[in-house]
Structure 1
Amino acid sequence: MPSIPVPLVTLLVLLILIVTLAANDKQRHQTTLLFLVVCSLLLAVGALRWILPSTPLMALRVLLATLLPALAWYCFSPHTTQNYSRWKIVPPALAIIIMQCWPPTIDSVLFVLYIGYGAALIFLGLGGGDRLSDARISEVGLAAKMALTAGVFLCFSGMTDLLVALEFTLHQGKLVPQIIAIMQSLMLPLLSLAIVFAARTRPREVSIETVLPDSSPLQTPEQAALCLQLENRLRQDDLFLNTQLTLNLLARKAGIPSRHISRAINATYHCNVSQWINGFRIAHAQQLLRSSSLPVTEVMLASGFTTKSNFNREFLRISGQTPSAFRQQAGSMPRSENA
């Protein structure tokens, strides 16, 4: 039966991804690890159901499959101002009730759940900072990518379940093993890329000569004034050094709607709010690297960053070199380097 080896290979790849993420930064990837563990459990139960068919295993698989979309929303959209976020558990609860009262609807209900939550996550990820305004500034980009990836995964899973259900309806499930094998084979390269991405410790180097982009001639006078107001507010009490800074928090401090901030920054500097804030943080880090012998890790923390990977990536993006190389070029030799 060709469907058994492929799910087991997929399960192995998921387990490798879990171990890789846990070894890289377990605390940072807590929600991702939770989602991957439940996915692995669902896959394991599904494989066992083909080997040892039983009603309890079938019921457990349906329960896990019903809860997975809501879990994906919980794990990958915790920082959203959308009102529907508080209702994330209502659809699966209704789905369980419907499936208990009308079992033939299981496949249709699961398809709607997966496509609905998947589309919502894709919409959230494509919206970026405007829809993730409660995310920490330093993690907006990552949060958007994770939401988008989770949404695509849910939609892909929903389409797989739909094909399996149609095959059972049309041909009594004769081609189900082949369908599962093909669909999961298509998923394996994506999971492999996720492992490679998770294991990467050295960020991509991009040379940018200035800390902050030049102003755009297309900006309006109102946007120019708004950006100046924001910069003054950021420099007051070194607000940009706050590791918990979010777009919503900045909007409250400045008394400006968050969507106006995003538009002004995009029009003026051709970057998002996160990159703009990180420009101030990197400038602060450069000053510390030039004027002190603090270890690079302490410079990172003192500059508003919480993870070394993000600090190194942004330092490379803005400065075109690593923090250690920047310090050496500046002529300061600290006692320990951790860049």
Structure 2
Amino acid sequence: MLFIPFPFVVAILLVVLFAGAARRNDESPGNVPFLALILVSALLSLLTGIRWGYGVDGIGYVAPVVAATLPPLAYLGVSSLIGQSGLPPALRVGLHTIPAVCIILLMAIRRSTVDIALVLVFVGYAVAILLFMRRGADALRLAPFDGADSAYRAILFTAFALLFSAAVDTFIFLDLNWANGEYAVTVVTGANLVALGIIAIAVASASRSHAPAELASARLTSDLTDHGIEIEDNGSDSHEGMNDIKDSTTFVSVQTLMESQRAYRDVNLNLNRLARKLGIPTRQVSTAINRATGKNVSQYVNAFRISEACGLLTTTEKPVTEIMFEVGFQTKSNFNREFRRMTEMNPVEWRDRHGRKT
């Protein structure tokens, strides 16, 4: 009877996930690093199955190098939604090949240190991602608002998945050295199952959250302006009153843009684009909204969208999907989630309760 290791099943499911995620992005550029992360994860799961399922020890020379590419891909996927790097794309990608190159060198000169090096790579990138996300969903200034909160949660899952993988690698290293690998196979199988769940959740959001085409000059201008604000704020303790006035003025400008121009209807609206419309740095916009409303920017913008959607559901016979696009949402899942979060019912229930039928 043919034996198929469980990691093979995981690899097949990951390829299916990749196909679905890539197909959803046919009309706009997807988050390439996140998509590549799925494929590399599938390859690593396949290599794991060959090594532990069929006892092919030679895979041990390849799998660590492949594993070393996972954290940089996760980091690049996150940074593409944050947009803080001023480095040329080729140089940025080149820098993140260093972990894989180091693993190759260690495989050649000191193989016993490879596992420790991998743990350091996974932990280091996980910490870097978590530091990126310390501002919450507002850190994702290039992610469209309708999916920013989902992308934020997915990124946190990704960071903790890297920490989980580091813990698994540490356990396997200790098991191989102290117990001759007695528990290694069981741990590897279980870890693959958990990793599949984590990656699936991350892909569901991250594959739909990508930066729309932006002019490089506009992104660079925003980077420089934000940097200037940060320098100014470092010495702003004695100007708290002026900051309050600045925040109030900024919030009024944002509110006016939302109410008079209905800027929230732009399906690709993100923090970077909103800041450029106002001519105000992104950090100043997010800080003003946070202080005035207690919400992050995506929640604030989506509140306008849901408010208009409620009105359209009540006063028109338009289909729910048409209303969803009209008010600025791109996906039904995000629309339904935000609608339920604000109204505690789905759009159909809202329309039924207010005397309208779909």
TM-score normalised to structure 1 length: 0.76
1:311 Cα deviation from its structure 2 partner: 0.6
Q: Which residue matches 2:56?
A: 53
Do structure 1's residue 252 and structure 2's residue 276 form an aligned pair? yes
Q: Which residue matches 2:220?
A: none
- Distance in 2 (CA, whole Å) between partners of 1:195 and 1:81 is 24
- Distance in 1 (CA, whole Å) between partners of 2:38 and 2:301 is 32
Do structure 1's residue 102 and structure 2's residue 104 form an aligned pair? no
Q: Name whichever of 90-99 and 131-140 sits farther off.
A: 90-99
1:12 Cα deviation from its structure 2 partner: 3.5
- Distance in 2 (CA, whole Å) between partners of 1:161 and 1:140 is 31
For each residue in 1:190-244, what CA deviation from the matched residue of structure 2 results, as whole angstroms up to 9, or x when unmatched? Answer: 7558769999xxxxxxxxxxxxxxxxxxx94543332111111223432110011
- Distance in 2 (CA, whole Å) between partners of 1:287 and 1:224 is 28
- Distance in 2 (CA, whole Å) between partners of 1:304 and 1:225 is 25
Distance 1:21 1:319, change over 3 A: farther
TM-score normalised to structure 2 length: 0.72
Do structure 1's residue 327 and structure 2's residue 351 form an aligned pair? yes
SS at structure 1 position matched to 2:80: coil
Q: Name whichever of 85-94 and 150-159 sits farther off.
A: 85-94
1:143 Cα deviation from its structure 2 partner: 1.5
What is the root-mean-square deviation of aligned Cα atoms in Å? 3.4
Q: Which residue matches 2:236?
A: none
- Distance in 2 (CA, whole Å) between partners of 1:176 and 1:110 is 18
1:96 aligned partner, one-letter code? V
Distance 1:331 1:163, change over 3 A: closer
SS at structure 2 position matched to 1:79: helix
Distance 1:18 1:327, change over 3 A: farther
Of 190, 204, 227, 1:185 maps to: 190
Of 225, 228, 241, 2:252 maps to: 228
1:30 Cα deviation from its structure 2 partner: 7.3
Q: Which residue matches 1:71?
A: 73
Do structure 1's residue 90 and structure 2's residue 95 form an aligned pair? yes
Distance 1:271 1:10, change over 3 A: farther
- Distance in 1 (CA, whole Å) between partners of 2:316 and 2:130 is 44
1:64 Cα deviation from its structure 2 partner: 1.5
Number of matched residues?
306
Q: Which residue matches 2:328?
A: 304
SS at structure 2 position matched to 1:306: coil
For each residue in 1:52-111, what CA deviation from the matched residue of structure 2 results, as whole angstroms up to 9, or x when unmatched? Answer: 4253x3343233112222222234442013328853542433541563363434333322
Could you list the runs of 5+ residues in structure 2 that have no partner in the other structure? Answer: 205-242
- Distance in 2 (CA, whole Å) between partners of 1:190 and 1:283 is 38
Do structure 1's residue 135 and structure 2's residue 143 form an aligned pair? yes
Quick check: 1:107–1:165 contact (8 Å CA) kept in 2? yes
Quick check: 1:134–1:246 contact (8 Å CA) kept in 2? yes
- Distance in 1 (CA, whole Å) between partners of 2:155 and 2:316 is 39
Please list, as runs of the form range in 1=range in 2, the aligned pairs for 1:1-339 lying within 5 A after superposition: 8-9=5-6, 12=9, 15-16=12-13, 19=16, 27=24, 34-50=36-52, 51-53=54-56, 55=58, 57-83=59-85, 87-93=92-98, 95-97=100-102, 99-100=104-105, 102-104=109-111, 105-168=113-176, 170-171=177-178, 174-182=179-187, 185=190, 188=193, 191=196, 220-333=244-357, 337=358
Quick check: 2:45–2:192 contact (8 Å CA) kept in 1? no
1:123 Cα deviation from its structure 2 partner: 2.4
Quick check: 1:124–1:132 contact (8 Å CA) kept in 2? no
For each residue in 1:173-196, what CA deviation from the matched residue of structure 2 results, as whole angstroms up to 9, or x when unmatched? Answer: x44350452365367457558769
- Distance in 2 (CA, whole Å) between partners of 1:82 and 1:180 is 41
SS at structure 2 position matched to 1:243: coil
1:294 Cα deviation from its structure 2 partner: 1.5
Identity of aligned residues (%): 28
Q: Name whichever of 286-295 and 184-193 sits farther off.
A: 184-193
- Distance in 2 (CA, whole Å) between partners of 1:25 and 1:97 is 31
